[in-house]
Amino acid sequence: MDLAVDLSGITKRFGAFTANSGIDLAVRRGEIHAIIGENGAGKTTLMNILFGLLQPDEGTIAIGGKTMIVDSPAVAIGQGLGMVHQHFKLVPSLTVADNIFLGMEIRRNGLIDRAAQEERTRSLSEKFRLRVDPRERVAGLSVGMEQRIEILKVLARNARTIILDEPTAVLTPQESRDLFRTLRSFVDDGMTVIFISHHLEEVMAVSDTVTVLRDGRVVATKPKSALSKRELVRLMVGRDVSFDRRPRGQTNGKVALEVEDLWVRDDRQLAALKSVSLSVRAGEIVGIAGVAGNGQTELAEVLSGLRPASHGRARLHGQDILDLPPAAIRAGGLAHVPGDRMVRGVDRTASLSANMLIGRHRRAPFARAGVIDWSAVHGEMWTLIRRFDIRARGPEDPARSLSGGNIQKVVLAREFTAGGDVLLIDQPTRGVDIGAQEGIHDEIMRQRAEGRAILLISTQLDELKALADRILIMFDGRIMGAVDGAAMDEDAIGLMMAGVDPADMTEA
Amino acid sequence: MEVLGNLFNIALLVATIRTTTPILLVALGGSFTTKAGIFNIGLEGQMLIAAFFAVVGSIYTGSSLGGLLIGVSAALLFALIYAVLVVSFRANEVVVGLALNILAGGMTISLLKAIFGTRGSVVGRGIVGLPKVQIPGARDVMGSSAQLISGFTPLVYVAFLAVPLLILVYNRTQLGLYIRVVGEKPEAAEALGISIARIRYGASMLCGLFAGLAGAHMSLGYITMFTENMSSGRGFMAVAILIFSAGDPLKVLAGCLLFGFADAFSLRLQSFGFPSYLVLAVPYSVALVALFALSWRGRPKRLRETAETIRRALSVHPADAGRDAPASRS
Ligand SMILES: Nc1ncnc2c1ncn2[C@@H]1O[C@H](COP(=O)(O)OP(=O)(O)OP(=O)(O)O)[C@@H](O)[C@H]1O
Ligand SMILES: [Mg+2]
């Protein structure tokens, strides 16, 4: 069998913790090989070992049939491997072309030949049909665009085997479809793709072979044709997980959050929200559906005080909150789970305890007479680690050492226990495995039962279908329409997400 | 009017160029470490040690070039020690920088005693100063303003020509690009197999080279002597300029020119009989005020927010926001 990559007996320990134990992974040339598993199962660790960013404690690596020591990414790149990381590694102040050729600059007379690099970028971008502007600076580009650049970066190095770590976690459905079309065309050209994902539908749709990891071990490697989604779930989590709509009681609470004719501009001074009005009652979950980038982020930012509004009103328990600083809005009872955990969710270098403490560092029991009582903080963090099933060794771990999904749980744990009675939740399960998704959904439902008013922004319809009482659909900064969560019509929502006015639908 | 005329003339510009040179050299050196993500507070010490050994070297070798080389070597040695401690052993940058500054201060004083048997300063004793470069024909073409471009020591030209050179290095060479990447996004460098440590060592040594030139210029340039603590805070001034310029060569030049001008101006005031303790404070105060003014833009959140609110109230109208958006989006 022609193997692009053959790992055998890979073991990796971090201190006393074993992240990978005795992993065998054989990837055939010319296939799309999906790796799935819960948060913290060791997927990223394994790929980092293959790519030379981490050294295994035991085991051997063979690339293209040759057994070798991969002690730096340079070795892996030299063997035709390329990796698109879970968190992108682009330099914001450089242009697209500079980023693509970083580390392999085209030079003439000792100087970097910008024109040639831009030309090569253009031709690569045409060849693989990944549109980019070579001269644009990376700072301020969308994540979809950043990912495209990362892929081009890998292609420019003549990679024949491409590793993608959770490539779709940050993409819109449209962007994901484009990505998979691109990956398919790669394997048609004889290349090999390894990708990590939490979206089982897309794993079932695009992969040829699936490897499931659990607690650092391989539990199965099977051709996709021999698997069903349900089986995958059971292999991954060890039990069945339901995606059905959650049962719930009647809502009759008072209006807690009210938005009226709200207009907001984005960073480029374009209108990002156009006359948005909505209200959320206590004990109600209002979902915001829409393709990412249609104003959802701005809505969350303006309500949490991170972005100024240009016109309109927003009231929290009847009190005006526009123009109040974030701390005052929080004090008024709003908790915010930001959409980008790395930017606004956590301080990656700080400990879990410190991350949990942020925003409540003046309050008893964490502060006494202005002095922080760390034993109380650690105690609370232990409680949260258990309640939210955060896979960490303890409260003193730096946030950075956690897997992506577990970092998300830290943010949720902090915000859900902040004492706010209005929850503004932006993408709660981005990058979170399905087992943990279920846990987070349970937690959101519990918050609802306790009478919290919840505004839930999600790009995943399944999630809204399971949780929301009402769903508002956003497109280009406007609310296109509302549907009842219990009787939702996916086609209608899909059309509204694409900008079709519901008033026109009946005629068509 | 006459007083002003005496204060501001070509001689003042020439003096500015001279006084700017040492701080420009050392700040350009610091630009490498700043861009590479190292907060190098050890510039002062590297400059001072170079000034001392440049004097020693020029006496021993009997040539200014020998002095220059030995002075620069001393600064490079300090830069190497700094890099070993900070890059390889990950010691705290500020602590190591301060320690080396103190070491340089103490070491020059005790070596002064040990080698020359004096305290305070060495003058004469066969110190060879750097030659002056006369640009042929400059006087014929430019007349008395020729002194603006001709008659300086070589390091003056090196300092000013280094500015465009550094711009070229940062924008068009691999080394410059890597230095920037290592400072801005080390993860990116690591993922591409660029050694962060190697680049930081390189930046550190380049910094030592320039700090060494700055030191040699101080003791072998216009005055040929060494005085205890003769760098007199220029290294720290350079650090301040670096913080505000983020190591950008043009901004570094602007900051250094400002400091150099204030320095030259204060010398001028001194010769007019102003009390020297006030006059000597001029360059530092001017530089501090200017830097403060620069940073002011970033600071006053309340002021900015107020302005923002006013602008919002005036500019954005829901009606026109709706009109312009679709067009500019598409
Ligand atoms: N540098 C490190 N130091 C200590 N522990 C680490 C380090 N890197 C990873 N770990 C731990 O190893 C385990 C596996 O992490 P890994 O990032 O491989 O998970 P993952 O399967 O990619 O999860 P996710 O789906 O959430 O991204 C986690 O429990 C994590 O906390
Ligand atoms: Mg991961």
Per-residue model confidence (pLDDT) at position B192: 78
Residues 279-318 of chain A whose Cβ lies under 8 A from any Cβ of chain B: 308, 310-312
Assess A349–B contact: CB distance below 8 Å, yes or no.
no
Q: From the CA of A399, which ligand is nearest? A: 1
Atom 8, ligand 1: which residue's CA is nearest?
A: A401
Q: DSSP readout, A217-263?
A: EEEEEEEGGG--HHHHHHHHHSS----SPPP-----PPEEEEEEEEE
Cα(B61)–Cα(A18) distance, integer angstroms: 63
Q: From the CA of B117, how many Å to the nearest CA of chain A? A: 50
Residue with tokens 């859900």: A416
Write the single-letter amino acid at B180: R
ipTM of the complex: 0.76
Q: From the CA of A486, how many Å to the nearest CA of chain B? A: 33
Cα(A42)–Cα(A216) distance, integer angstroms: 5
Nearest atom (ligand 1) to Cα of A39: 26
Assess A107–B contact: CB distance below 8 Å, yes or no.
yes
Ligand 1 pocket test, candidate residues A212, A342, A401, A440, most atoms within 8 A of CB? A401
Asked if A456 and A440 count as a contact pair (C-beta separation under 8 A), the reply is: no
Q: Which whole number is the average pLDDT over B165-169?
A: 96
Q: From the CA of A55, which ligand is nearest? A: 1
Q: Which whole number is the average pLDDT over A233-259?
A: 84
Q: Which whole number is the average pLDDT over B215-230?
A: 89
Residue A85: list chain B partners with CB under 8 A. 191
Could B191 and A85 be called an inter-chain contact, meaning their C-beta atoms sit closer than 8 Å?
yes
Could B193 and A73 be called an inter-chain contact, meaning their C-beta atoms sit closer than 8 Å?
yes
Residues A10-52: pLDDT tens digits?
A: 999 998 889 999 999 999 999 999 999 988 899 999 999 999 9
Residue B196: list chain A partners with CB under 8 A. none
Do A3-90+159-237 and A255-345+421-505 show the same overall fold? Answer: yes
Please check the confidence at residue A381 and state whether its pLDDT lies above 80. Answer: yes
Cα(A167)–Cα(A134) distance, integer angstroms: 22
Of B180, B181, B318, nearest to A275 by CB-CB distance is: B318
Distance from residue A147's CA to the centre of ligand 2 (Å)? 16
Task: Assess whether the C-beta atom of A216 lies below 6 angstroms from ligand 1.
Answer: no
DSSP state of A163: E
Q: Is the dihedral of CA A362, A366, A370, A375 positive or negative?
A: negative
Taking each helix axis as running N to C, give the angle between helix B234-245 and helix B282-296, from 0 to 180 degrees, rounded to the nearest 10. Answer: 20
Residue with tokens 């079932």: A204
Please give the mean pLDDT across all residues of chain A: 88
Between A226 and B279, where is the model more confident? A226
Cα(A372)–Cα(A379) distance, integer angstroms: 13
Per-residue model confidence (pLDDT) at position A86: 75
The end-to-end CA distance of chain B, in Å, is 62
Choosing among 3.40.50.800, 1.10.645.10, 3.10.20.90, 3.40.50.300, the CATH entry for A3-90+159-237 is 3.40.50.300
Q: For A90, which residue in chain B has the nearest alpha carbon?
A: B188
Q: Which of A48, A263, A307, A400 to mutate to test the interface with B (most CBs of B within 10 A)?
A: A263
Q: What is the dihedral of CA B288, B294, B299, B300, to 10 degrees?
A: 100
Residue with tokens 């004719």: A261
The domains located in chain B, with CATH, are 2-316 (1.10.3470)
Task: Specify the range with the lowest mean pLDDT, choosing from B52-61, B130-139, B142-151, B174-183.
Answer: B142-151
Tell me the whole-structure pTM to 2 decimals.
0.73
Please check the confidence at residue A294 and state whether its pLDDT lies above 50. Answer: yes
Distance (Å) of CA A194 to CA A33, A164, A379, B286: 5, 6, 40, 60
Could A310 and B316 be called an inter-chain contact, meaning their C-beta atoms sit closer than 8 Å?
yes
Task: Assess whether the C-beta atom of A19 lies below 6 angstroms from ligand 1.
Answer: yes
Residue with tokens 């959802």: A296
Asked if A428 and A456 count as a contact pair (C-beta separation under 8 A), the reply is: yes
Cα(A263)–Cα(B317) distance, integer angstroms: 9
Residues B100-123: pLDDT tens digits?
A: 999 999 999 999 999 888 888 888
Q: Which whole number is the average pLDDT over A463-478?
A: 91
Per-residue model confidence (pLDDT) at position B323: 39
Q: Which residues contact A25 (CB under 8 A, 6 or more apart)?
A: A5, A6, A7, A10, A35, A46, A211, A218, A221
Please check the confidence at residue B322 and state whether its pLDDT lies above 50. Answer: no
Q: Which residues contact A72 (CB under 8 A, 6 or more apart)?
A: A52, B193
- Give CA angle at B97 (B96, B101), nearest 5°: 115
Question: From the CB of residue B143, how many other CB atoms can be counted at a distance below 10 Å?
Answer: 9
State phi, psi for A399 to the nearest 5 degrees.
-55, -35
Of B184, B312, B324, nearest to A91 by CB-CB distance is: B184
Please give the mean pLDDT across all residues of chain B: 83
Q: From the CA of B193, how many Å to the nearest CA of chain A? A: 5
- The domain ranges of chain A are 3-90+159-237, 255-345+421-505
Task: Specify the range with the lowest mean pLDDT, choosing from A131-145, B34-48, B87-101, B271-285.
Answer: B271-285
Q: Which residues pair with A483 in a beta bridge?
A: A471
Q: What is the dihedral of CA A201, A204, A207, A212, to 10 degrees?
A: 90
Q: DSSP readout, B160-210?
A: HHHHHHHHHHHHH-HHHHHHHHHHH-HHHHHHTT--HHHHHHHHHHHHHHH
Cα(B71)–Cα(B187) distance, integer angstroms: 36
Residues A195-206: pLDDT tens digits?
A: 999 888 889 989
Assess B180–A contact: CB distance below 8 Å, yes or no.
yes
Assess A499–B contact: CB distance below 8 Å, yes or no.
no
Distance (Å) of CA A433 to CA A214, A237, A381, B28: 12, 9, 22, 50
Please check the confidence at residue A276 and state whether its pLDDT lies above 80. Answer: yes
Asked if A86 and A165 count as a contact pair (C-beta separation under 8 A), the reply is: yes
CB pairs under 8 A between A and B: 89
Write the single-letter amino acid at A301: E
Q: Which whole number is the average pLDDT over A245-266?
A: 87
Per-residue model confidence (pLDDT) at position B127: 84
Residue with tokens 């999904």: A405
Nearest atom (ligand 1) to Cα of A406: 26
- Give CA angle at B245 (B242, B251), nearest 5°: 115
DSSP state of B272: T
Question: From the CB of residue A415, how many other CB atoms can be counted at a distance below 10 Å?
Answer: 21
Asked if A219 and A212 count as a contact pair (C-beta separation under 8 A), the reply is: yes
Please check the confidence at residue A107 and state whether its pLDDT lies above 70. Answer: yes
Asked if A68 and A79 count as a contact pair (C-beta separation under 8 A), the reply is: yes
Per-residue model confidence (pLDDT) at position A459: 83
Please check the confidence at residue B21 and state whether its pLDDT lies above 90. Answer: yes
Assess A91–B contact: CB distance below 8 Å, yes or no.
yes
DSSP state of A92: T
Between A55 and B1, where is the model more confident? A55
CATH of domain A255-345+421-505: 3.40.50.300
Task: Assess whether the C-beta atom of A45 lies below 6 angstroms from ligand 1.
Answer: yes
Cα(A41)–Cα(A238) distance, integer angstroms: 13
- Give CA angle at A341 (A337, A346), nearest 5°: 95
Asked if A334 and A425 count as a contact pair (C-beta separation under 8 A), the reply is: no
DSSP state of B147: G
Distance from residue A35's CA to the centre of ligand 2 (Å)? 11
Distance from residue A401's CA to the centre of ligand 1 (Å)? 7
Per-residue model confidence (pLDDT) at position A388: 87
Please check the confidence at residue A481 and state whether its pLDDT lies above 60. Answer: yes
A145-151 contacts: CB < 8 A, separation 24 or more?
A146/A88, A146/A90, A147/A84, A147/A88, A147/A171, A147/A175, A147/A179, A149/A90, A149/A96, A149/A99, A149/A100, A150/A84, A150/A85, A150/A88, A150/A89, A150/A90, A151/A84, A151/A182
Asked if A286 and A472 count as a contact pair (C-beta separation under 8 A), the reply is: yes
Per-residue model confidence (pLDDT) at position A279: 94
Q: Which whole number is the average pLDDT over A160-168?
A: 90
Cα(A186)–Cα(A159) distance, integer angstroms: 11
Distance from residue B160's CA to the centre of ligand 2 (Å)? 50
Question: A208: which 2 tokens?
Answer: 């040829």
Per-residue model confidence (pLDDT) at position A127: 86
Residues A170-193: pLDDT tens digits?
A: 676 777 888 898 899 999 989 999
Per-residue model confidence (pLDDT) at position B7: 56
